[in-house]
Structure 1
Amino acid sequence: MASTTSGDILPSGGRVFMTFPDIFFIPEFVFGGLVWILVASTRVDAPNPLGWVMFVSVFCFVGTTLWFFIFICGGNQSSVWPSLDVGFHFLAAVFYLSAGVDLAYITFIYGEALKVLSSDAALKIYRLDIAAVVMCYVAILLYFIHAIFSAIRWKRS
């Protein structure tokens, strides 16, 4: 895998699929999309903060999609793009971290309520929430690693 941390410009075109940390775009799509799908497939109660989780997952999915297409089309070749790359991925990591904490808390509360009210439908929603928490923390890790290595690339350019 080629690296762009040697001070050259950001990758464009097909090089996006072969450079580090830009190879993380695809797993960020997958795990961010899974968080979106899993949270959307559960029941959201009125006082439930899962709206923030949905906002974060949709915002980051759309943002990563736009960012990916900008990189593919080569629109990222000016000197401001490395700092924007760091900023976007750091913001996405912080957003996902806050959403992951909310999602884990709601899943914990739902699990405690499940001890009292046991039903097959509630157990299915609880399992979907657990899967969403796992996918959310994987997305946090991916965005954080991408932000760190983008910062290293930005510092060296």
Structure 2
Amino acid sequence: MASAVTGNGLPTGCKIFTTMPDILFIPEFIFGGLTWCLVASTRVEPANPQGWVMFVSIFCFVITTLWFLIFLCGGNQSSVWLGLDVAYHFIAVLFYLSSSVALAYVTLFFKAALPSGLDEVFKIYQENVAAVVMSYVATLLYFLHAIFSALRWKSS
């Protein structure tokens, strides 16, 4: 990937589509949105862990969208943005990791209670498995973004 950045180390405008880690915004949108949609489409039982998953996926989707728009419009020219970029992505990693583990636990619990012969319950279980996979992929993407943002912060 090219390293076309401004003087403070952060890209603006269309340069965010050519620099690492900013190119990761796109897959973060995709996998975070898929996690959100898959959890929202299933029966939310038990409510507490899956409510946390919904909060994390919506929160990260909205904040990543705002972050992306700030970078796209060039509002990131202050020197504080390098540190904020690293901090946000590490917080997103912690949130997504905790919600991924909770969602995986609920899915395993749901599988153990899965009665045989109920297609509707099996469909919900399959959607939960897909949501777990998407959640862990989103966690990995945010982790990579955080690592590359930290490297960019350190080198500036």
| Map of 1:90 onto structure 2 | 90
State yes or no: 1:146 paired with 2:149: no
Give unmatched runs, 5+ long, in structure 2: none
Matched, 1:12 2:8: no
> Aligned Cα RMSD in Å?
1.6
* Alpha-carbon spacing, 1:35–1:67, altered in 2? closer, same or farther (3 Å): same
Partner of 2:66: 66
SS in 2 for 1:38: helix
Poorly superposed stretches of 4+, deviation over 4 Å: 4-8
Distance 1:140 1:4, change over 3 A: farther
With normalisation by structure 1, the TM-score equals 0.94
The structure-2 alpha-carbon separation of the partners of 1:8 and 1:2, relative to structure 1 and needing over 3 Å to count, comes to: farther
User: What is the aligned-residue identity percentage?
Assistant: 65
Deviation at 1:49, TM superposition (A): 1.5
**TM alignment of 1:15-94, pairs within 5 A:** 15-94=15-94
Aligned to 2:122: 123
Measured against aligned partners, the alpha-carbon deviations of 1:6-33 in whole angstroms (never above 9, x if no partner) come to 9753000000000001000000000000
Which one-letter code corresponds to 1:142 in the other structure?
L
Separation (CA, whole Å) in 2 of partners of 1:7 and 1:140: 30
Distance (whole Å) between structure 2 residues aligned to residue 30 and residue 5 of structure 1: 25
Amino acid aligned to 2:93? A
Q: Is the 8 A contact 2:103 2:132 kept in 1?
A: yes
TM-score by length of 2: 0.95
| CA-to-aligned-CA distance 1:46-97 (integer Å, 9 cap, x gap) | 5542000000000000000000000000000110000000000000011000
Task: State the one-letter code of the partner of 1:90.
Answer: F
Question: Deviation string for 1:124-148 (max 9, x for gaps)?
Answer: 0000000000000000000000000
| Greater relative contact order (Cα < 8 A, sep 6+) | 1
For residue 3 of structure 1, report the CA deviation from its aligned partner: 2.1
1:67/1:6 CA distance change after superposition, 3 Å: closer
